[in-house]
């Protein structure tokens, strides 16, 4: 059966970005001129997904507004004669068939995936975590769908992580099948480096069979009282094969301030309209000690204050 539907989870508090996320969803923070969540919606559409289900929570209305029509803004742009920007704005609302469902309690990623069970029905589907922005020639999700089409099993996106970082990931115990493809023998959530069966960590893309819903309903809360998707996948392994795919591309963890900055910088330097100027700017500030620049800024601020 074709992968037609994707769940995008967007119900978290975004505490790592407070106070910026106190009144706006983390998923709406802009990477240059697009919010984080638009990048993953575009990836899903480019991968052939027909319907997107966004799992939200209270205070996330801005996500719905972003993908909806804005007739007043469109009218203003049309009156102004800005046809290029008008086309960009209209394209956002035409990207995909998007529906929304609220996770009324934040009980973990496994619970978030379980929330739209009735909307998915009895068919395989994708799960995308918007924290992970993946830049690649072929969309990461499309690469995974191609693997699913060959093996007809759940597929987890994985990448190699440093030994010091394994405690931040679900780590798979792999058995090599072919280049970049592994059968998953076991999954361990955030193991110590000594307990990790490999350095292949699961990142925010999944293709899952509908049987995952049955096992998630049976999965007890784990760490922090949350239902972990990793625990559900571990139970799924007892019933059917699960595969892992080491995707081709560059992943940015936009769910952390440092990863968000890295994504912003690298996306910016590749932009044809601003890339060259931004690269020159970065080169100029890297050549001059930061303390010198701070000193100049402080002197300027002091001078402005005296003049006022």
Mean pLDDT of the chain: 91
Q: What is the pLDDT of residue 197?
A: 93
The domain locations on the chain are: 5-270, 271-308
Q: CATH 3.40.47.10: does it fit domain 5-270?
A: no
List of E strands, 61-104 = 97-102
59-114: pLDDT as tens digits: 899 999 999 999 999 999 999 999 999 999 999 999 989 999 999 888 899 999 99
Q: What is the pLDDT of residue 226?
A: 87
Q: What is the pLDDT of residue 307?
A: 54
252-304: pLDDT as tens digits: 999 999 999 999 999 999 999 999 999 999 988 887 665 565 555 455 555 54
Give the per-residue SS3 of 209-243: CCHHHHHHHHCCCCHHHCCCHHHHHHHHCCCCCEE
Q: How confident is the model at residue 238 (pLDDT cuts 50, 70, 90)?
A: very high
Q: Which of 133, 38, 50 is nearest to 89 (CA)?
A: 38
pTM of the model: 0.89
Q: What is the pLDDT of residue 132?
A: 95
27-57: pLDDT as tens digits: 999 999 999 999 999 999 999 999 999 999 9
Asked whether the predicted pLDDT for residue 227 surpasses 60, the reply is yes
With b for 16 or more beta-carbon neighbours within 10 A and e for fewer, the 231-262 pattern comes to bbbbbbbeeeebbbbebeeebbbbbeeebbeb
Average pLDDT over every residue of 184-193: 91
Would you say 6 and 126 are in contact if contact means Cβ atoms under 8 Å apart? Answer: yes
Q: What is the pLDDT of residue 236?
A: 96
174-183: pLDDT as tens digits: 999 999 999 9
Minimum mean pLDDT range among 31-35, 227-231, 233-237, 282-286: 282-286
Q: How confident is the model at residue 210 (pLDDT cuts 50, 70, 90)?
A: very high
Query: Which residue's structure tokens are 């619970």?
Result: 111
More confident residue, 95 or 305: 95
Q: What is the pLDDT of residue 166?
A: 92
């Amino acid at each position: 059966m074709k992968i037609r539907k994707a769940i995008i989870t967007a119900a978290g508090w975004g505490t790592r970005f407070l106070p910026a996320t106190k009144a706006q969803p983390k998923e709406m923070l802009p990477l240059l001129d697009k919010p984080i969540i638009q990048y993953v919606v575009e990836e899903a559409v480019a991968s052939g997904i027909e319907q997107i289900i966004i799992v939200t929570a209270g205070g996330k209305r801005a996500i719905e507004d972003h993908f909806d029509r804005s007739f007043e803004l469109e009218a203003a742009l049309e009156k102004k004669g800005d046809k290029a920007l008008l086309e960009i704005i209209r394209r956002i609302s035409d990207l995909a068939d998007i529906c929304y469902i609220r996770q009324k309690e934040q009980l973990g990623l496994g619970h978030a995936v379980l929330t739209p069970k009735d909307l998915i029905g009895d068919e395989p589907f994708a799960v995308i975590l918007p924290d992970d922005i993946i830049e690649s020639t072929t969309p990461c999700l499309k690469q995974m769908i191609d693997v699913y089409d060959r093996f007809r099993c759940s597929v987890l996106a994985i990448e190699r992580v440093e030994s010091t970082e394994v405690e931040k990931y679900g780590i798979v115990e792999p058995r090599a099948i072919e280049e970049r493809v592994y059968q998953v023998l076991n999954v361990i959530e955030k193991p110590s480096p000594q307990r990790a069966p490999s350095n292949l960590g699961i990142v925010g893309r999944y293709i899952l069979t509908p049987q995952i819903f049955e096992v998630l309903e049976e999965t007890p809360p784990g760490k922090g009282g949350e239902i972990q998707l990793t625990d559900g996948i571990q139970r799924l392994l007892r019933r059917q094969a699960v595969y892992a795919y080491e995707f081709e591309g560059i992943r940015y963890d936009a769910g952390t301030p440092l990863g968000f900055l890295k994504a912003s910088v690298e996306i910016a330097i590749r932009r044809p309209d601003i890339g060259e100027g931004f690269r020159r700017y970065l080169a100029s500030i890297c050549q001059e000690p930061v303390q010198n620049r701070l000193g100049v800024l402080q002197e300027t601020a002091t001078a402005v204050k005296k003049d006022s």
